[in-house]
Structures are given as structure tokens and as C-alpha cells.
A = this chain, B = another copy of it.
Amino acid sequence: MSGTWGKNIKYTIFGESHGEGIGIVIDNLPPGLELHISKIKLELQRRQPGSNDFVTSRKEADEFEILSGIFNHRTTGAPLCCFIKNTGHQSSDYDRTKDLIRPSHADYTAYIKYKGFNDYRGGGHFSGRLTAAIVFAGAVAKQILSEHNISIISHIYKIGNLCDSSLCNKDLSIEDFSHLTSMSFPTIDVSIGAVMQQRISDVKALGDSIGGIVETAILNLPAGLGSPFFDSLESTIAHLMFSIPGMKGIEFGSGFDLAEMKGSEANDHFYMEDSKICTLTNHNGGILGGISTGMPLVFKTVFKPTPSIALEQNTVNIKQLQNTKLNLIGRHDPCIVPRALPVVEAAAAMSILDCVPLSYL
């Protein structure tokens, strides 16, 4: 079972890269919501390829239709179905290599799980293209959260060994980051951003790809959201984040660096700031016992290098069960990270909405 997620609001995803299209059904939205169509389009554009040099030049229109759940421009409370038609795909590209399971793609595992009946064209249901549906749903979730002043920002924290500043940096204030969303290549340190872009171009020129890390912060979250044990805030967020193709790790607050820290360094001391309880540091990333502390919820997600590269690779012909060589043709992102940002933010918004009592909203 894989296509439906959520407790407060249920999201059901469907579609394939080279079929009729992709879509998502969103159930239990509050009624009376007037969707900010232009903001939804903006989010989808952030995910779209073709906008600059370091992502694939393949065109995807991502024009969405809303098939249900809207009346007089407002949500009705009934399930909202969004559908994005596929256009302009060249399926024939895939026939030539359809039996050659692409390394680090889902071709092999999909073949085994679905007994060879999976739609292999462009990865089919496993395609990163389906993240457009997640971005749509996330844009709706963001709108609901924004009415409660909760906002989500993210930036490219790392590309290869090039590292941006962190949102945890105490010398920076949250106000300094509001511009990230409108940047085409969002980094805190603009100069490091330029070097990162050059690095991606270099890698592309070699027919290769490169990985990276996204850092995300959820701001103005009230304290008290989440649960102990099986529905901890980390559990809920991580569950949805690992639905994003290519995501291989998540850490909250100081994350893996906590291994090298002592309790006397890692413990976030409480103190009163005006009449609010705050922590001096935020090594726990705004979550204690699976529940929000009211501090910024900060986490990092790592994306592997795009599996599709122009270089020749070894693989297996799944029908013949023989070793063979694979040479992929086509335009591919040399680095998925810039396009992953709006997807990570969308998943973050959906996760938070699932932990907020709907009464609060």
C-alpha cells in the first residue's frame, strides 16, 4: 500500500511519467478555502525543469486542472482532485533500453515487485515527475499554514563538498531568510551559491551528476504539536520525506553531529524570553519527545546524485539475465537538489498539517 497518506487530511497520489498524466486527491480540506492559484503555479514553477542551465532542459508544462472539490472558487470540503496532463513525452526513447535496468533507479525493484507489469517508460509511477502532484498538495497545505503564520523556508545547504551557512547559525536571524523562496538558486551565502552552480555545470559537462543537501526550517510552529512514540513529529516528517525519490537521509537539529557532542554541549538550555519559554541553542531542531518546542523546526535531507548520467555504465538485461553496458541518451538534471527544494517544503507543509489538530486551523 503506498498511494494514500495522512490522518487529518488524506492525500492519494496517482499517475505515471508517460501515461495520461499525474494527479492527487486531497480529502478533508477545510471548506471555504479560496485557493491562491498564482502561488500554486509559482511553487510548481520552482520544481519545473528547463528554467536554467543546471537542470534538465526537458519541458514540462505542469498545467493543472481541478476535477472536484471546488465550487464558486472555494473548497467545498469534499475531496479535491488535481490532475496534470502529460504532454510532449517521447515514449519511444525508452523502448530501446527497457530491459536494461538503470543503476540506482527503481527499474529493477519495480520489475520484481510488479512482476514486470510496471510502466517502465521514464520510471512510470516511480518518476520524479509525480512530485509535481506533491508540490500542488504542499502549496495548498502551505496556504492553510500561512493563515496561522506558519511558514517554511529552505536552501541548498550542500552540493558536493561545497557548504552553505546553516539556518541554525545563531548570528543570523529568521528575518534574514524570507528572500530564499524567490531565489532561483537559494543559498544563504550568495557567493557559495555561485560556486555551487559552477560545480554543477562542470559535472554536467562531464556527463556526470552530483548530490547535495537541503536544509529546511519551519517557522512559528506552536509548542505542543506531535506525539510520543509512533507518531512523533520526526516520524511523521521523515515518513513523508522518504517518499521523495532520491532522498536517502534525514536529520533533525544537529543530527549526526550529535554523535560527537557531549550532553553539556548538546543540551538546549531553557530560558525565559519576555514571557515565552525558549531554548538558548536548538540542537534538537525544535522537537523534544516527538513534540514541537516552539523553536524553529530545522532538518536536513540528503539527495543522491541523479542516477541518469551520460557515462557508460554496467548493468544487467533483466530479460536475458546477462551483464551488459548501458548508454543513456536524453536530457537529465545534473543535480536534483535545486528542484527538490519546493518538494521538500511541500512535504514539510503536509506533515505539519497532519500534526496540527484541525480545530487549530
Query: What separation, in Å, do the CA atoms of A309 and B112 have in the docked complex?
Result: 50
A263:B208 contact, CB within 8 angstroms: yes
Q: Which of A40-48, A140-148, A173-181, A232-240 contacts B (4 or more CB under 8 A)?
A: A232-240
Give the secondary structure class of A's interface.
mixed
Partner pick for A76 among B4, B80, B124, CB 8 A cutoff:
B124
Q: Does A252 contact B (CB under 8 A)?
A: yes
Q: Does A218 contact B (CB under 8 A)?
A: no
17 other contacts beyond A1-B227, A113-B227, with CB at 8 A cut-off?
A1-B7, A4-B10, A16-B69, A19-B67, A23-B67, A25-B25, A103-B270, A104-B268, A106-B291, A108-B223, A109-B288, A109-B289, A112-B224, A211-B258, A213-B256, A250-B250, A250-B251
Chain B residue contacts of A185, Cβ below 8 A = none
B272:A322 contact, CB within 8 angstroms: yes
The residue of chain B having its C-beta at the shortest distance from the C-beta of A81 within the complex is B14
Chain B residue contacts of A292, Cβ below 8 A = 109
| With known contacts A263-B306, A305-B261, A240–B230 Cβ distance under 8 A | yes
Q: Does A339 contact B (CB under 8 A)?
A: no
Query: What separation, in Å, do the CA atoms of A254 and B250 have in the docked complex?
Result: 12
| With known contacts A23-B68, A254-B248, A229–B2 Cβ distance under 8 A | yes
Could you write out 29 A-B pairs with CB less than 8 Å apart? A2-B28, A2-B228, A2-B232, A12-B27, A13-B79, A15-B68, A16-B78, A32-B114, A32-B116, A69-B125, A77-B117, A78-B118, A108-B223, A109-B290, A109-B293, A211-B266, A213-B256, A230-B240, A234-B242, A235-B240, A238-B241, A248-B258, A249-B256, A258-B303, A259-B302, A261-B305, A262-B305, A357-B358, A358-B359
Q: Does A3 contact B (CB under 8 A)?
A: yes
Chain B residue contacts of A311, Cβ below 8 A = 263-264
A270:B101 contact, CB within 8 angstroms: yes
Q: Does A65 contact B (CB under 8 A)?
A: yes
| With known contacts A5-B230, A229-B13, A255–B263 Cβ distance under 8 A | no
This chain: copies in complex: 4
Q: Does A63 contact B (CB under 8 A)?
A: no
Q: Does A89 contact B (CB under 8 A)?
A: no
B251:A256 contact, CB within 8 angstroms: yes
Query: What separation, in Å, do the CA atoms of A360 and B78 have in the docked complex?
Result: 21
Q: Does A75 contact B (CB under 8 A)?
A: yes
Q: Which of A50-58, A186-194, A279-287 contacts B (4 or more CB under 8 A)?
A: A279-287
Query: What separation, in Å, do the CA atoms of A25 and B32 have in the docked complex?
Result: 25
The residue of chain B having its C-beta at the shortest distance from the C-beta of A207 within the complex is B264
Nearest Cβ distance between residue A266 and chain B, in whole angstroms? 5
Partner pick for A230 among B31, B203, B243, B360, CB 8 A cutoff:
B243
| With known contacts A14-B79, A211-B260, A1–B119 Cβ distance under 8 A | no
A112:B358 contact, CB within 8 angstroms: no
| With known contacts A223-B108, A235-B239, A272–B15 Cβ distance under 8 A | no
Q: Does A331 contact B (CB under 8 A)?
A: no
